[in-house]
Chains A and B, each alone.
Chain A
């Protein structure tokens, strides 16, 4: 199982907590998936509302490490301030760092991401950067102090799977010893299995489970796919080939025609 910043995690699935039809469905999805980390966020709260405290109690009851995010932040300053607020709220120095470069694509801003990662690392945070498959950017993030990379599969919420398999495979090969999580863009369990087959350590997803007709069943589907994909990776798969090759022995074939 993966290890992030010295912490062993019980599952290769990191699951988001947003968009579920109800808290009960969220709890069912987490239970059936066996997810190892719950991702959370922080938003404005009105006086006397109490929603944040109620949500926090529900998350604590899951008994999992939490990974707060800086979702929605478009500048270094916003992301850094949000990270500080998250550290106090969730009592963790883990932060899923998002610095968004474009509102429509939700593509990371690579320049702001590196700068924010450096600032936060120097301030004691353990940064999980939401990044792309760009290997140069990955290297800069590692230089900035990140010990985990979280390349996107596809833009957040699209469910398109692994958009650039070649790029992801290259990134994996470029930094073979760095824990890597495919974060965002997965829609189906087969996408998660493919991420495992490529050698990634975990996946982080939310919408694919929360917006499924039966979120708990989909969560379990992802968990099984992760197991299948990881087994395949460890089993050293065959190389694909262009021409057909019979699997049944040719030797001993009868002459009947």
Chain B
């Protein structure tokens, strides 16, 4: 299915968020996720079904003031 990852269009096979993160190269990374502007906690990723056109945001710790 076609999704948007951090603003960029991507094609993925996975149908839920957890496997999608593995497929997109985030396996084991310290990240937080949101789908369609809604936070998806880590424990809920495996059961979070994705749909065509979903917008996924994957954020990680960064420098800040």
Chain A interface residues toward B at CB < 8 A: 16-20, 39-53, 55-56, 59, 68-69, 71, 77, 81-82, 84-86, 88-90, 156, 184, 204-207
Contact = CB atoms under 8 A, between A and B. Distances in A.
B32 A44 contact: no
Interface of B: 5-7, 21, 24-26, 29-34, 37-39, 41-42, 57-65
Contact of B41 (A42, A52, A88): A88
Contacts of B26: 45, 47-48
Interface of chain A, main secondary structure = mixed
A129 to B, nearest CB: 15
B62 A52 contact: yes
B28 to A, nearest CB: 8
B31 A41 contact: no
Contact of B65 (A44, A49, A71): A71
A210 to B, nearest CB: 8
A90 B60 CA distance: 9
A42 B25 contact: no
Given A88-B42, A89-B30, A59 B61 contact: yes
Nearest to A43: B62
A31 B62 CA distance: 20
Given A50-B29, A52-B30, A41 B37 contact: no
Contacts of A82: 59
